[in-house]
Amino acid sequence: MSIETEKRNTGSRTWPHPEVVEDFAQLRQRAPLIHCITNSVVTNFTANVLLAVGASPAMVVTIEEVADFVHIAQALLINVGTITTIDAEVMLKAAATAQQTNTPWVLDPVAVGALKFRTDIVVQLLSYRPTVIRGNASEILALGGFAGGGKGVDSTASSLAALPAAVQLAEQTGAVVALSGELDYITDGKEIITIPGGHEIMTRVTGTGCSLGALIAAFLPVTRTAVRAASAASVIFAAAGERAFRESRGTGSFGVAFLDELSTIGIGEQLVP
């Protein structure tokens, strides 16, 4: 990290940060309808994450309906994890419609840089100006034009190593960048929010990263800024992940406990963990 990016670092957030508590209360009260075009591995988990926190997920994925539904939904998620020829067309139409209608949207560029087809589509999607880009270090490095070395969907670089690329990507695109890793970083190119916590076991349950993108989308309609939306989602995921790990016997019960925590955190509990 250069001295310049360090200077911009404007603090870290953990649960129960007052802004996050406030934003989460708004989310639960307003139950925003979130349009998810996501990968086939995580559709079920993503829907359950959104339902757990009180949002309303809807997976509308066909070319005939996608533009109409972007009009109806409060936010959109596009995740290219298992993109197909047909999906690409749907995603581009959804993103174009989101730009036209000022619907906030999150781009999750899974494995960008590793495979040409999705990389080309992601570049096109960027032109529709996502509100937030969420990715791991390899993906953010690839998007930022750095050498990625991505290995499938897992990141082989540390999130700190990719922070300069994240800042630059935010500056270039106007998007808030949510960089996931051992530490999460949220940046709009000016400020950098650091989010510690979570647990390494989260990398061994599919969909924890992808559903973070969905949760960011769910916060976008209820928070004042996209930085707050991405920060709130990351803070809640980190807290739920830490707590869930303490209750789990392995990766299966971790996934279950993670949904349990998301559905109960801050309700009927002391706000100091």
Q: Minimum distance between the CB of residue 135 and a second copy, rounded to whole angstroms? A: 16
* 178-53-258 Cα angle (round to 5): 80
How much helix, strand and coil, in percent to the nearest 5, is found in the chain? Answer: 50, 15, 35
| Residue 47 lies near a second copy (rule: CB under 8 A) | yes
β-pair partners for 115: 112
| Residue 61 lies near a second copy (rule: CB under 8 A) | yes
- Hunting for tokens 């016997």 — which residue is that? 249
Q: Closest Cα to residue 212, out of 188, 191, 186, 190?
A: 186
| Residue 147 lies near a second copy (rule: CB under 8 A) | no
- Given candidates 48, 131, 168, 180, which one binds a second copy under the rule CB under 8 A? 48
- Given candidates 111, 126, 217, 238, which one binds a second copy under the rule CB under 8 A? 111
| Residue 183 lies near a second copy (rule: CB under 8 A) | no
Q: What is the DSSP string of 111-133?
A: TBTTBHHHHHHHHHHHTT--SEE
| Residue 246 lies near a second copy (rule: CB under 8 A) | no
DSSP, collapsed to helix, strand or coil, labels residue 246 as helix
| 97 or 248: CB nearest a second copy | 248
Interface stretch with a second copy, choices 59-67, 134-142, 170-178, 183-191 (CB under 8 A)? 59-67
Binding site for a second copy (CB under 8 A): 33, 39-45, 47-48, 51-52, 54, 56-65, 68-69, 72-73, 81-87, 111, 114-118, 151-154, 203-207, 248-253, 255-264
